[in-house]
């Protein structure tokens, strides 16, 4: 176990040192999660990309 401690510590330190996501990426991931959660909630078999577009517009981003 002692020889694995430095490896474990370096892995944990590497995860903690990740910079925060840019605002767009954070919004994109949030809307994708909401889209898939909504899909499961209503029993759809395919994701509702209109829901994703509405979510992104509500956060101030628009498709070009």
Q: What is the pLDDT of residues 9-18, one digit of tens each?
A: 565 555 555 6
- DSSP-derived letter for residue 17 is T
In this prediction, residues 36-60 reach a mean pLDDT of 85
Distance CA 45, CA 13 (A): 39
What are the pLDDT digits (tens) for 7-47?
555 655 555 556 778 899 999 999 999 888 887 777 777 78
From the CB of residue 56, how many other CB atoms can be counted at a distance below 10 Å?
19
Neighbours of 31 (CB within 10 A): 20
- Among residues 38, 17, 9, the alpha carbon closest in space to that of 55 is found at 38
Residue spans of the domains in the chain: they are 18-64
Q: What is the pLDDT of residue 51?
A: 87
């Amino acid at each position: 176990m002692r020889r694995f401690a430095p490896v474990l510590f370096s892995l944990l330190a590497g995860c903690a040192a990740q910079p925060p996501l840019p605002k767009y990426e954070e919004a994109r991931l949030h809307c994708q999660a909401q889209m898939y959660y909504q899909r499961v909630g209503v029993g759809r078999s395919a994701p509702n990309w209109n829901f994703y577009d509405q979510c992104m517009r509500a956060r101030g981003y628009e498709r070009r």
